[in-house]
């Protein structure tokens, strides 16, 4: 298939290599404030950098044991699913401020991503849509290690595949600020707001091993540090009011999600233990934050490709919605007939014939999540690559699925939305930033996988745009936002 645009991998530019030490001091104030470090201490640079990790453990629940005090693996896994549903029900059906008090919840109500607009706005959600909003990420592990088929063959069947439950937490107030829809303070907004959409929404996971059931989250402090470096390096950070206001966002988001989770889990199981444990790779200083961005293929967590219409007309909101759904339909939909197969014909061959073998890509949900600013989020998952990733530790699960987003923008600032932008979370960046704690052997094994993932996603999008979107487009052009000074 002919790629409709061309991207080139690059190594770290020389100016970034020599500039890191200089940048560490100049940006220390902004980053330190974003992580809750005293501004007075920030002048010391890396010495007072607050360590961040990609993940945080919030709670721990007991496994189920049998009469002989042995782990009942099947019953424990059922409890994981029940706990995930209990959390999803709480987020979807209750107004946080009513339950937790306005001294805890400062922004809008947290809602369950993947549910209908009616559900999110009125808290009248169907049991089916709440259940379907929970994403199940497969692992290479069995639910029951004593399953006869597994003992006889060592093969984990589909029915015996342990999956981690992932929930999307959304909050309109914070999402609007993060995506540049609403000002942070005064009239100052997050720069290039929509471009950060692939890093949202907030994700919480529930999974188990033989010792405990865990509730983890993708840590907002680390996400802001790693995925919003353009904000940290922006001129707006010189404004103390802006710097202070934006510094309040990540810790406040974390505290609110944590409060919601702990309330729901304690209601579900009174034996829930509160945990505050950092997980994943540790970023110990400013140099490491700069390095993981600067050495990624695009010097960014994201790859943005912009398209214009062949007839020169502007895109409408309906066009954006239709293109997003075309990508989902082309990708195939988890749980529906044909999930993981791709019969679309492109350049005389089936899409499946040019995707990596056994990838079986599908969208986790039948429709996109739409975040403030009409930003559409597609959550793409390959069971093959998900199992590989989960084999490195299930605590990484909130880094999945792969996010692809769709937005229309007025790039030339002439008052019309002439550009359709498809954005990807770059898997190479994700491996370095979110899986940095895996072994060197695992990193070597994963090196080619990140290429396959990015190539597959782009081929799926290409096929959707060219064959299934119903819109004639010009070739895509890479749009780059400078994530570093």
What is the model's pLDDT at position 21? 35
Q: d(Cα 231, Cα 325) in Å, to the nearest integer?
A: 31
d(CA 313, CA 322): 16
DSSP annotation string for 310-360: TT-PPP-HHHHHHHHHHHHHHH-BTTSTTTT----EETTEEGGGGSPTT--
Burial track 279-310 (b if 16+ CB lie within 10 A, e otherwise): bbbebebbbbbbbbbbbbbbbbbbbbbbbbbe
Read off the pLDDT band of 28 (50, 70, 90): very low
CB 400 within 8 A of CB 381: yes
Tell the residue number behind the tokens 């009174």, with chain if given. Answer: 270
- Confidence at residue 50, expressed as pLDDT on a 0 to 100 scale: 79
- The model's pTM: 0.91
- Closest alpha carbon to 319 in 467, 418, 172, 402: 418
Q: What is the CA radius of gyration of the chain?
A: 22
CB 361 within 8 A of CB 332: yes
CA 247/CA 243 separation, integer angstroms: 6
DSSP 3-state assignment of 285?
coil
What stretch of H or E contains 378?
A: strand 375-381
**Closest by CA position to 429, among listed 326, 302, 279:** 302
Cα-flanking dihedrals φ and ψ of residue 469, to 5°? -80, -25
DSSP class per residue in 26-78? HHHHHHHHHTT--HHHHTTGGGGPPPB-SEEEEEEEEPPB-TTS-B-HHHHHH
| Helix, strand, coil share of the chain (percent; to 5) | 45, 20, 35
For 84-119, the pLDDT digits (tens) are 999 999 999 999 988 998 777 877 899 999 999 999
Average pLDDT of the chain, as a whole number: 90
What is the percent of the chain with per-residue pLDDT over 90, rounded to a whole number?
85
Tell whether the model's pLDDT for residue 190 goes beyond 60: yes
Looking at residues 346-352, what average pLDDT do you find? 96
Lowest mean pLDDT, pick from 1-10, 401-410, 452-461, 473-482? 1-10
The residues, any chain, with a CB within 8 Å of residue 401's CB and separated by 6 or more, are 135, 137, 166, 364, 379, 380, 381, 386
Task: Tell me if the bond preceding 8 is cis, omega within 30° of 0.
Answer: no
Residue 360: how many CB atoms within 10 A of its CB? Answer: 20
Is the link from the previous residue into 401 a cis peptide, with omega within 30 of 0? yes
Residue 23 in this model has a pLDDT that exceeds 70: no
| Residue 62 near residue 72 (C-beta atoms within 8 A) | no
> From CA 7, how far away is CA 478, in angstroms rounded?
7
Question: pLDDT tens-digit profile of 111-140?
Answer: 999 999 999 999 999 999 999 999 999 999
Cα end-to-end span (Å), the chain: 36
Q: What is the mean pLDDT of residues 201-216?
A: 97
pLDDT the model gives residue 48: 54
Give the closest residue to 381 by CA, choosing from 400, 358, 357. 400
> Which helix (H) or strand (E) is 143 found in, with range?
none
Cβ count within 10 A of residue 48: 15
Q: Is 365 exposed, middle or buried (0-12, 13-18, 19+ CB in 10 A)?
A: buried
| Whether 458 contacts 287, CB under 8 Å | no
Domain boundaries, the chain: 14-479
Rounded to an integer, the average pLDDT of 179-200 is 95
Confidence band of 25 (pLDDT split at 50, 70, 90)? very low
Distances from the Cα of 63 to the Cαs of 141, 210, 217, 370, in angstroms? 17, 7, 20, 36
Q: Is the pLDDT of residue 35 over 50?
A: no
* Residues 6+ positions from 270 with CB-CB distance below 8 Å: none
Instruction: With cut-offs at 50, 70 and 90, classify the pLDDT of residue 286.
Output: confident
Burial zone of 117 (CB within 10 Å; 0-12 exposed, 13-18 middle, 19+ buried): exposed
What is the distance between the alpha carbons of residues 124 and 144, in angstroms, rounded to a whole number? Answer: 36
Give the contacts of 143 (CB within 8 A, at least 6 positions apart).
Answer: 73, 74, 77, 160, 161, 162
The pLDDT tens digits for 306-328 are 999 999 999 999 999 999 999 99
């Amino acid at each position: 298939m002919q790629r409709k645009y061309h991207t080139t991998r690059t190594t770290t530019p020389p100016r970034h290599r020599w500039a890191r030490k200089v940048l560490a001091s100049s940006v220390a104030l902004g980053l330190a404030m974003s992580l809750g470090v005293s501004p007075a201490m920030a002048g010391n640079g890396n010495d007072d950098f607050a360590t961040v990790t990609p993940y945080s453990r919030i709670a721990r629940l007991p496994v189920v044991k049998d009469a002989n005090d042995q782990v009942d693996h099947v019953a424990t896994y059922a409890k994981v699913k029940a706990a995930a549903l209990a959390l999803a029900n709480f987020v979807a059906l209750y107004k946080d401020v009513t339950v937790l008090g306005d001294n805890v919840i400062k922004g809008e109500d947290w809602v369950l991503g993947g549910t209908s607009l009616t559900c999110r706005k009125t808290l009248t959600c169907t049991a089916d849509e709440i259940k379907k909003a929970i994403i199940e990420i497969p692992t290479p592990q069995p639910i029951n290690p004593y399953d006869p088929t597994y003992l006889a063959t060592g093969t984990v069947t589909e029915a015996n595949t342990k999956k981690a439950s992932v929930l999307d937490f959304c909050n309109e107030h914070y999402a609007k600020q993060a995506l540049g829809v609403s000002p942070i303070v005064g009239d100052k907004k997050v720069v290039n707001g929509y471009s950060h959409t692939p890093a949202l929404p907030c994700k919480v996971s529930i999974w188990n091993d033989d010792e405990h059931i865990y509730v983890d989250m993708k840590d907002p402090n680390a996400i802001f540090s790693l995925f919003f470096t353009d904000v940290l390096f922006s001129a707006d950070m010189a404004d103390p009011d802006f710097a202070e206001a934006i510094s309040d966002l990540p810790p406040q988001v974390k505290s609110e999600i944590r409060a919601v989770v702990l309330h729901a889990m304690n209601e579900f199981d009174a034996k829930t233990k509160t945990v505050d444990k950092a997980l994943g790779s540790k970023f110990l200083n400013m140099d490491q934050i700069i390095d993981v961005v600067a050495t990624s293929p695009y010097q960014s967590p994201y790859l943005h490709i912009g398209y214009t219409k062949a007839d020169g007309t502007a895109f409408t909101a309906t066009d954006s919605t239709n293109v997003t759904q075309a990508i989902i339909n082309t990708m195939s939909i988890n749980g529906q007939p044909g999930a993981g197969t791709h019969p679309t014909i492109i350049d005389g061959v089936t899409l499946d014939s040019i995707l990596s073998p056994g990838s079986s890509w599908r969208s986790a949900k039948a429709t996109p999540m739409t975040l403030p600013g009409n930003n559409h989020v597609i959550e793409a998952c390959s069971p093959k690559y998900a199992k590989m990733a989960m084999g490195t530790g299930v605590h990484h699960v909130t880094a999945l699925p792969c996010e692809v987003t769709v937005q229309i923008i007025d790039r030339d600032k002439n008052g019309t939305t002439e550009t359709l932008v498809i954005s990807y979370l770059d898997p190479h960046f994700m491996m370095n930033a979110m899986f940095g704690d895996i072994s060197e052997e695992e990193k070597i094994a994963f090196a080619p996988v990140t290429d396959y993932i990015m190539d597959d996603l782009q081929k799926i999008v290409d096929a959707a745009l060219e064959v299934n979107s119903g819109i004639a487009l010009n070739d895509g052009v890479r749009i780059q936002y400078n994530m570093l000074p």
